[in-house]
Amino acid sequence: METKILPGSYPMNGGDGEVSYARNSQCQKRAVDDAKKIINEAIADLIDIKNLQKSSNRFLIADLGCAAGPNTFFAVQNIIEAVDNKCKTMQKNDPEPDHQYQTIEYQVFFNDRIDNDFNTLFRSLPCSSSRPYFAVGVPGSFYGRLFPKQSIHFMHSSNTLNWLSRVPDHVGDINSPAWNGNSIFCRGDNKEVAEAYLNQYKKDMEVFLNARAEELVAEGLLALVAVGGRPSGVPLCQINMGKTYEFLGSCLFDMAAEGIISKEKVESLNLPQYYPTASEMEELINKNGRFSIEKMETFPGPGEHFHNVQTWSMIVRAGFEAIVQNHFGNEMVDEFFHRYTKKHAENLSIFYGITKLVQINIILKRKVCSK
């Protein structure tokens, strides 16, 4: 099915069919599962239910970049269970035994860009009798304001912040030293290209953090899950995800050499993706100044999905089909992903022993006196 997408927007494949994100996001699900512990600890340590209930019994959660499900439902369910557990513990240990805690009512805001498949998302919501929250859809870019000031208690975003708001300046300009015509992604081994991508990432993160600082209540929490990332000093082209982009690019150049697509068109494709290191993230958050870093963990991200050719090519297709289709048209898409699957299979041995993406999970607390 051909999807019309807006410039600067790159939705995951919608629906619940064979090549949908809903059926091909096991790798991202793993990252969500792996962040459970840090989120549970953050809620246990940092949320003051008693204080919160002085103003209302509502607890508002937002998931930013939710796609069409189902990972967002697991993330939200986990947050709610953690808040419920925290409530029970506070009640049990309350020095004022007569203090009445109110039952919390949860409202969950599912955000993604306007061309996300919200229909599939809402159709697959857990049924209302087993769903302990009211669901709301919030269309729009998280690189900007989405909610009223000081309205949200907990924000979550997983596997999203690698997506830049746009392709960086100059990488598509043949006359610039940052021209990236020989590659479709930021390999990390060309200084000018890497700088252009990093600069865009810095701008985007500043806008993202400023918007969240406005929207969260004082001391509200922001969980950034699976942000990135690269091990320090290792260019993306030397890690598993970078190899994937390299193979996607080389299939496109092969197709151009055979006259199936135009070489200029391939040279002009630049994926709007940046993979920060943990220290780049820390520096950006500290420089922004509106959040304190309460918890942060890094560990090698999921790698086993790369070892299964079919699984991995479907995950890649579910995430990148729209961008390829938008750039080259629909006719070449099946052939392109067929070639990519073949290339991945031929090079499978590379994915054993190669450096993995780093999973960076960060819990931020909005400072009370945010700038």
Ligand X SMILES: C[S@@+](CC[C@H](N)C(=O)[O-])C[C@H]1O[C@@H](n2cnc3c(N)ncnc32)[C@H](O)[C@@H]1O
Sites of contact with ligand X (CB under 6 A) = 11-12, 25, 28, 32, 65-67, 71-72, 111-113, 116, 141-143, 158-160, 163, 165, 319
CB of 161 to ligand X, least distance (A): 8
Residue closest to ligand X when measured from CB atoms: 65
- How many Å apart are CA 240 and CA 352, to the nearest integer? 9
CB of 338 to ligand X, least distance (A): 23
CA distances for 174 relative to 248, 252, 255, angstroms: 21, 19, 21
- How many Å apart are CA 85 and CA 370, to the nearest integer? 29
C-beta closer to ligand X: residue 72 or 183 = 72
C-beta closer to ligand X: residue 32 or 43 = 32
CB of 176 to ligand X, least distance (A): 25
- In the chain, the amino acid numbered 62 is A
CA atoms 125, 214, 273, 35: torsion sign: negative
- How many Å apart are CA 296 and CA 285, to the nearest integer? 12
112 touches 139 (CB < 8 A): yes
**DSSP of 318-329:** HHHHHHHHHHH-
C-beta closer to ligand X: residue 190 or 200 = 200
CB of 73 to ligand X, least distance (A): 10
CB of 75 to ligand X, least distance (A): 7
Please, which residues bridge with residue 364 across strands? 222, 293
3-state SS, residue 291 = strand
Tokens representing 75?
A: 């993330």
C-beta closer to ligand X: residue 108 or 255 = 108
C-beta closer to ligand X: residue 165 or 341 = 165
C-beta closer to ligand X: residue 303 or 319 = 319
Q: Which residues contact 287 (CB under 8 A, 6 or more apart)?
A: none
3-state SS, residue 154 = strand
C-beta closer to ligand X: residue 71 or 298 = 71
CB of 143 to ligand X, least distance (A): 5
* Beta carbons within 10 angstroms of residue 189's beta carbon: 13
C-beta closer to ligand X: residue 147 or 179 = 147
Pick from 40, 33, 34: nearest CA to 363 = 40
CB of 165 to ligand X, least distance (A): 6
CB of 205 to ligand X, least distance (A): 12
